[in-house]
Chains A and B, each alone.
Chain A
Amino acid sequence: MKKELICISCPQGCRLTAEYAADPAQAEVSGNRCPRGKTYAITELTDPRRVVTAVVPTTDSARPVLPVRTSEPFPKGKIAELLNELYKIKVTPPISLGEVIQKNALDTGIDIISAENRN
């Protein structure tokens, strides 16, 4: 099998080619300008993930939403469900940069963290 991919791990956007017999985890990857390209190609073929960013409502009317993110790339197939959960949260300042807003989201072991400081 031969798959063409574009690495999204950094703005370079390398064009990758992944070749494998049966198991994508064993793919030979070319076209990557750094080792992260190989990791990306294999993850993308076996267990695609994305960093999810969103805003959640706050109780502070002057700054009504807080930007949040997943602590790591999140399984792509569960993003819609995650967003539904996130929009139900309401947070109350003070909140600091990196503070966990929701632990172990959807049992993935990945946390939702604050991307800003709020007093």
Chain B
Amino acid sequence: MKNISCDVLVVGAGAAGLCAGSVTSKHGLDTIIIDREDQPGGILKQCIHNGFGLRYFKEELTGPEYACRVAKLAADAGAKIMTGTTAVEAKKNADGSFTFKVFSQKEKVCYISSKAVLFTTGCRERTRGNIITPGTRPAGVFTAGAAQKLLNISGYLPGKCAVIVGSGDIGLIMARRLKWCGIDVKAVVEIMRHPSGLTRNIVQCLDDFGIPLYLGHSVTNIYGKERVEAVDITPLADGKPDFSKTFKVDCDTLLFSVGLVPEVELAKQLEVKINPATGGAFVDDDYETTTPMVFASGNGLHVHDLVDFVSEESERAAGSICRRLSGAKNSDKVPVTVEKTLKYVVPTQATRGEKQSFYFRPLIVANKATLEARADGKIIKKRLIPFVRPAEMLEFELEIPAECKEMEFALTGGELL
């Protein structure tokens, strides 16, 4: 058994952990980044498609290329990256430090103590169980991410003919990936009336291949004993399936791409409070959770559609860790909330008189909508946003007025979902 100590422990070596770790290391803090996988990079390793880094690296990269670059940033800055190392228990010590119990392939059980903790644990996929699809339980049913890993990391084809449930980006990207592997994709089925992935992915992953997208439809039955043989697809009328219009589609593979949830189990052991709107921790503008010296960023905080925002947010979180460890703490903060047109805002506490970036998830669709920032009920800044949909996260920069008591954001001019 081995005990290690450091200034900052970063849990998760995806884009978030690697970018944050490079900042704290460069600042001179002794930083350890752990990851349960054998290679750093997180989810990026299996996202072999391009579309990453246009903002952060000013270049369009594939997921693995982005991962290589950020891993190099962290290593060059002097961060210690421990792969094959899983954090299983977290506790807070009497002196305010933290101790994590970790299992590592090399050291077996080992304890890592640190002054500050950053959770960059990424997210989990919702599974079929979370959305309850009736029918048998044959082989051939995967989450889209699991199928992606199978294909792009292990090199196995999941089947010959697929139906995809959910039009999120992972589902769309997988539709093209399967097609390019010679697997037929019969349909993408989306329960909402609007696709939940980026428009560019509808174009290049479905339209390019003539794959039909059934909006306002749901998979209502799965056939097959040993292996999936077919599914029933049913249109919804007023939110209820209209079974008179059900049709059957033959397939041997069914992929579920029905959403992601931040991974917060370990953070909960440190009594971090969870925001039901994001599924991640409540954080202030230092990215500090409700437990002092415990921070969170990236998909482990709220689900991002762009890795560039993950990197930027994580660098900011790391900057705060550097300031907090040098003793600075700004407590002049106001609560930040959203109206029902927005699902959430991150952060939910912000410092008066400081410029901040806020992230939102809209709950409306609109060809044009106005994002309004209100200080104590008065609009202080607004921005016209050309194309608003829940799939696309919004970012807004704003200086909180010095005398304000509370901030609220709202979107006006769209259709509520």
Chain A: number of interface residues, binned into ranges: 20 to 34
B64 touches A116 (CB 8 A): yes
Residue from B60, B68, B305 having most chain A Cβ neighbours under 10 A: B68
Kindly supply a per-residue 1/0 record for chain A positions 102-119, scoring 1 wherever the CB is within 8 Å of any chain B CB and 0 otherwise.
000000000000011100
Distance from A22 Cβ to chain B, minimum over Cβ atoms (Å): 25
Contacts of A50 in B (CB 8 A): 204, 208
Interface residues in B52-72 (C-beta closer than 8 Å to A): 54, 60, 62-65, 67-68
Contacts of B248 in A (CB 8 A): none
Contacts of B180 in A (CB 8 A): 52, 54, 79, 83
A97-B200 in contact given A50-B208, A55-B155, A65-B152 (Cβ < 8 Å): no
Counting CB contacts under 8 A, is A6 at the interface? Answer: yes
A6-B68 in contact given A11-B54, A53-B49, A53-B50 (Cβ < 8 Å): no
Counting CB contacts under 8 A, is A24 at the interface? Answer: no
Kindly supply a per-residue 1/0 record for chain A positions 59-82, scoring 1 wherever the CB is within 8 Å of any chain B CB and 0 otherwise.
000011101010000001001000
Summed over the interface, the residue pairs from A and B with CB atoms below 8 Å come to a total of 71
Contacts of B202 in A (CB 8 A): 6
Q: How far is the CA of A65 from the CA of B48 in the complex (A)?
A: 11
Distance from B39 Cβ to chain A, minimum over Cβ atoms (Å): 8
A55 touches B152 (CB 8 A): yes
Counting CB contacts under 8 A, is A93 at the interface? Answer: no
A115 touches B64 (CB 8 A): yes
A11-B48 in contact given A50-B208, A55-B151, A55-B155 (Cβ < 8 Å): no
Contacts of A54 in B (CB 8 A): 48, 180
Q: How far is the CA of A11 from the CA of B394 in the complex (A)?
A: 12
Counting CB contacts under 8 A, is B279 at the interface? Answer: no
Contacts of B305 in A (CB 8 A): 11
Residue of B nearest to A6 (CB): B203
Which one of B68, B386, B387, B392 lies within 8 Å of A116 (CB-CB)?
A: B68
Give B residues with C-beta under 8 Å from A: 48-51, 54, 60, 62-65, 67-68, 151-155, 180, 198-200, 202-204, 208, 305-306, 386-387, 392
